[in-house]
Amino acid sequence: MSDHKQDQRAAFRSDDPAGGPLTTDQGTTVDHTDDSLKAGERGPTLLEDFHFREKLTHFDHERIPERVVHARGAGAYGYFEPYASCAEFTRAAFLQDPAVRTPVFVRFSTVQGPRGSADTVRDVRGFATKFYTSEGNYDLVGNNFPVFFIQDGIKFPDFVHALKPEPHNDIPTGASAHDTLWDFVSLQPETLHAIMWLMSDRALPRSYRMMQGFGVHTFRFVDAAGRGTFVKFHWTPKLGVHSLVWDEAQECQGRDPDFNRRDLWDAIEAGVYPEYELGVQLIPEDDEFAFDFDLLDATKLIPEEQVPVRPIGRMVLDRNPENFFAETEQVAFHTANVVPGIDLTDDPLLQARNFSYLDTQLSRLGGPNFAQLPVNRPVAAVRTNQRDGMHQSALHGGANYSPNSLGGGCPMAGGSGGSSYTHYPARVEGTKMRRRSETFRDHYSQAALFWHSMTNWEQRHIVEAFRFELGKVESRMIRSRAVAELAMVDRMLGVEVARGIGVPAPTGPETASKSASPALSLTHPRGDRTIRTRRIAALVADGVDTRQVAAIQEALSGAGAVLEAIAAHDGEVTGADGRPYLVDRALPTVSSVLYDAVLVPGGTGTASLAADPDALRFLRDTHRHGKAVGALGTGADLLNSLGMGGDATSPGVDPADSRGVVVDAAATVPSMEFVAAFIEAVAAHRHWNRTPLVAG
């Protein structure tokens, strides 16, 4: 081959990453890539940072047409209404009048996997809300964690590249248990707080309807007089905050990979509308530096014990999309879509998002006119000088420049005051630099806060999650380095994880705080203690006492739950009264992980259940996963044979002492006491104080 052809081929090969220092796409050597260029350590990101813009722009356009992150989603329409006027801290029109309902569209999503991945992977969940307000669209683009993995948006491409499937084989899909992520995490300790959330059951929501949402960043409310107040946003589901456990999540990926999106769709179709309360943490500007962390640090949260969450309104989702692609897939969110009364801060991660989201839509939605798509179109009037471009659907007339006289000067700028958006006049000064503020340097205290806020069973699940994730990492060096970082959070956490993945236990003193915030635990009461929309399985076979099933079904239905009869086969079984009884599902097509509780009614049918391996597995898994188990008549004998009798409580026992196994062996018809105790056990969601079953 000629030298010329060799040179041509070499031009299409990637550069040797070890051949020299990092450069821009133009070959300019980069001095620093961990911090964007800002006006002072805590100042805003500067537009002149060409390395930052090039890095983010290239990242934003890596994938077409699906989203680079948050590709797999589910959406719904609804409305928002404030509880009372919020005029004391914001002029935002949609937060003033309780009688005014603001339309919304919400998109829930996973982060790592592509559109075809499963719902129940261990991942952050997106919780993005578009408010179609009278003053324009406002997008609250958040997650189900209150913190993120990085502090400066210039690191976002690095983080997502490490999180995504490995480049040589595109494995694993929709999962984070691989070398590149943990290599990044072990070298970037600012990730640790969010990693603790990722390893907890918070990363495995039972339902989008039972999942919190957070704005993540510190924003600013501005009142009519121009006074600012820092604000953190919180969404809290009225059904409470509940999660799957890892074993369930994995099986759901096979049994029903659409578990979460199906749950959302079915609930809305059934008229059981998801509801969330919007709360805010308000921080006076004078208290900006009153905390032992920086309000502009997206890897930190404000403990609710320090600044309580103030409820200001509710959101109800009451309509499913008509076309998934046109609406859920084409909806475009942007953190800089704000309305008068809501402003941004100099959080360097937020500053990057304010650039990145708009840039991303240009690739995904084919040009600059995506705001004209129905799902993105404001209800407020739109008057701009923007023209043409791909997919232009508006029929514009008149002048398209400003100032003009031929069009009567229209559209004219609104000027200051009135309904115009006026940026908050925050003071900005400082030397241009790539350097992180010293107030961003503590990476361990809040990770430790989260760990010490967990109950024993939550900590056990976190350790098991770390062991699973790091156990998939092939590099022993990365395993050891990650464990060393965990020991900086809590030494015993590091020791327990090391014990499970075959690396030496870390040594040395603990450096992080032992403080706790009980509000961070899943056991912290939130929302209503209810069984509305919960799915409960009744295991039935020929000879089942159908009177018991019918009575329980009526009671559970009255409480808003759904009872389904599950048998070894589809069709019908014969009841104890000799009459046919319709079966809802066949055992081979379902699993206990798809239900919130199980009931074993009495009758001669329990003998058939005792001989059915699928039925026995269903019961054992329900018990092992901490869910409520109920039994009547001879059903109690079946539970005893499986070793569940030691956890059983009779009706009337204090719920605090219950282990979630409710039986009434003498019952022919369920008593009110049994029904009440069973409903209470289901409402508690999990019971982790049980005696482990002996394998059988």
Taking the C-alpha atoms of residue 654 and residue 307, their distance in angstroms, rounded to an integer, is 33
Token reading at 315: 């959101």
Q: How far apart are CA 428 and CA 450, in angstroms?
A: 34
Catalytic residue among 51, 58, 61, 70: 70
C-alpha span between 65 and 345 (Å, rounded): 31
In angstroms, rounded to a whole number, what is the distance separating the alpha carbons of residues 125 and 114? 13
Minimal CA–CA distance to 665: which of 628, 620, 629, 631? 631
pLDDT at 4: 47
Residue 61's pLDDT is 67
Q: In 122-166, where does DSSP find H-type helix?
A: 156-163
> Between vectors from CA 200 to CA 487 and to CA 67, what angle results, nearest 5°?
110
Known catalytic residue at 4:
no
Please check the confidence at residue 285 and state whether its pLDDT lies above 90.
Answer: yes
Give CA–CA dist 443/237, Å, rounded: 30
pLDDT > 60? residue 14: no
Higher pLDDT, 381 or 161: 161
Look at residues 201, 195, 194 and name the one whose alpha carbon lies nearest to residue 461.
Answer: 201
Stretch (H or E) spanning 108: strand 102-110
How far CA 246 is from CA of 205, 252, 494, in Å, comes to: 10, 10, 20
- Give the CA-trace dihedral at 53, 56, 62, 67, to 10 degrees: -130
The 10s digit of each residue's pLDDT in 296-312 is 999 999 999 999 999 99
How far apart, in whole angstroms, are the C-alpha atoms of residue 204 and residue 118?
A: 12
Q: Can you list the domains of the chain with their CATH numbers?
A: 38-372 (2.40.180.10), 445-520 (1.20.1370.20), 535-683 (3.40.50.880)
Q: How far is CA 365 from CA 58, 61, 113, 198, 689, in A?
A: 16, 11, 20, 30, 51
- Phi and psi, residue 574, nearest 5°: -100, 125
| Start-to-end Cα distance in the chain | 69
pLDDT at 5: 45
What local confidence, expressed as pLDDT, does residue 212 receive?
Answer: 98
pLDDT of residue 369: 85
> Within 10 A of 389 (CB to CB), how many other CB atoms are there?
12
Alpha-carbon dihedral 390, 393, 394, 399, rounded to 10 degrees: 30
Average pLDDT over residues 223-244: 97
Side chain identity at 542, as an amino acid letter?
A: D
Residue 111 has pLDDT above 80, yes or no: yes
pLDDT band at 666 (very low <50, low <70, confident <90, very high): confident
What Rg do the C-alpha atoms of the chain give, in angstroms? Answer: 28
Give the pLDDT score at 12. Answer: 43
Count the residues in the chain. 696
Catalytic residue among 51, 137, 143, 354: 143
CA–CA dist 19, 493 (Å, integer) = 39
Given this model, what pLDDT does residue 541 score?
97
Please give the average per-residue pLDDT across 174-182, as a whole number: 95
Place of tokens 């912290």: 524
Q: Among 182-196, 508-522, 669-683, where is mean pLDDT lowest? A: 508-522
Cβ contacts of residue 387 below 8 Å, gap of 6+?
A: 396, 400
User: Is 60 exceeded by the pLDDT of residue 63?
Assistant: no
| 682 Cβ neighbours under 8 A, 6+ residues apart | 531, 534, 536, 561, 596, 597, 628
pLDDT in tens, 467-505: 999 999 999 999 999 999 999 999 999 999 999 999 999
Are 110 and 204 within 8 A, CB to CB? no
Comparing C-alpha atoms, which of 361, 350, 357, 336 is closest to residue 66?
361
Q: Which residues pair with 128 in a beta bridge?
A: 107, 141
Residue 148 has pLDDT above 60, yes or no: yes
Rounded Cα distance, 410 and 493, in Å: 64
Burial class (CB in 10 A: 0-12, 13-18, 19+), 139: buried
Q: How far apart are CA 691 and CA 135, in angstroms?
A: 57
pLDDT at 665: 86
Is 277:238 a contact under the CB 8 Å cutoff?
yes
Dihedral angle, C-alpha 456, 457, 462, 467, nearest 10 °: 100
171 burial via Cβ count (<10 Å: 0-12, 13-18, 19+): exposed
Confidence at residue 46, expressed as pLDDT on a 0 to 100 scale? 85
Average pLDDT (373-379) is 91
Region 346-359: what's the mean pLDDT? 93
Please determine, for residue 18, whether its predicted confidence score (pLDDT) is greater than 80: no
Torsion angles phi and psi, residue 428, rounded to 5: -130, 125
Residue 103 has what pLDDT?
Answer: 97
Cα–Cα distance for residue pair 437/418, rounded to 1 Å: 37
Tell me the average pLDDT across 154-174: 93
- Give the three-class secondary structure for 311: strand
The question of whether 143 is a catalytic residue gets the answer yes
Report pLDDT for 180. Answer: 97
